[in-house]
Amino acid sequence: GLSSTPASTPSPTAPSGGAGSMFTSAPHPALRHGMPLAQNLRMFKQYVTSFDSRTRNPQWVLEHVSKSTSRGDGDRQGSKFFEDQDIPVRLRNRLDDFKGSGYDRGHLAPAANHGGSQEAMNETFSLSNMSPQVGKGFNRSYWARFEKFVRDLTRECDDVYVVTGPLYLPSKTRNGWTLSHPMIGQPPSMVAVPTHFFKVVLAEYDGEQGKKAQALGAFVIPNAEIDGRIPLSTWIVPVEDLEAAAGMQFFTSFLTPCRRHALAEAEHVVLDQLGRAGAPSKLLTDGTTVVSKPKKGSNTVAIRASPRGPGTEVLHLCERARCELVSEDWAKHFNSDNPPPQVDSDSSVVIDEDV
């Protein structure tokens, strides 16, 4: 159900398109003995992950979610956390890294998104799909509710494509910008603890005249205890600003220049209704200050789709769907009804991982 390949590697040939070109036509002498590799592309049944061996986190996880992938006979109690044996042991995250760390082994492709079969659910328990996540108030609550929101999009959308990944964002200090985040495990093979996580969600549904239509939205949330009353819309960011912070482009086959322009217009419409048009990426540009309490009057805003003429290339996700989270009680009941599989009897940290 899975395969492994190294990250995309240019052929060992000399530049033909100018200094530093990736496109080559003649053998390059420097590459005689190969080039350094730090990422592994891992393909599972219903998701793909690019694992970054420098941080020992996924760089990104891309999954396809539909009614058929999320509804079925998959049972968490039949799953087991496992190390990805196709990544060299010195370069991967390990079960021992999480013991006593105080962090959850947080799925980036959630198990509940892939309950259509036991095999697909089992594969989500690979550690190449895991990042260290704060448990209380995040992985077991706010983030779980966010995952539920994405999963529920399949009620009205045929196919949902989701890119999830960690971010390491700097903080502003008196001496300028600095990046600081915890590490778990033991040197030299340590696992970075992300400061934030992102999701970019592309939903496809039946549009006018039988044509497929799309809606897309990007979100960034601190890896911290989050007050459950904070609206999901708080974490909306423009996708191109997220790309700048994450150092990667999303849905490159879909986001043509024309669609990028249409999406930017849609993002402006949404952020203007939220009163954030003047500071659309405050979370990305002003440092990593955690929003711990909802601001006064920060109730969920009902976002209205703005008419932009026929043939609009893409809507913002929150114009298509109500960007609201299920109640906090849902997460409590879900966690009690779906306890995590037990794999380590000697683990010194209580782990109640994501859904």
Which residues are known catalytic residues?
107
CA atoms within 13 A on the CB side of 338: 19
Rounded Cα–Cα distance for residues 6 and 277 (Å) = 41
Angle at 342 between CA 338 and CA 345, to 5 degrees: 150
336 by Cβ neighbours in 10 Å (0-12 / 13-18 / 19+) ranks as: exposed
Rounded Cα–Cα distance for residues 92 and 70 (Å) = 28
Rounded Cα–Cα distance for residues 165 and 131 (Å) = 9
Rounded Cα–Cα distance for residues 352 and 135 (Å) = 7
Which of 300, 252, 295, 251 minimizes the C-alpha distance to 273?
A: 300
Q: Which segments of 139-236 does DSSP mark as H helices, in order?
A: 142-152
Tell me whether strands 57-65 and 24-27 are parallel, antiparallel or unpaired: unpaired
Query: For 11, which DSSP code?
Result: -
User: Torsion over CA of 113, 116, 122 and 124, rounded to 10 degrees?
Assistant: -20
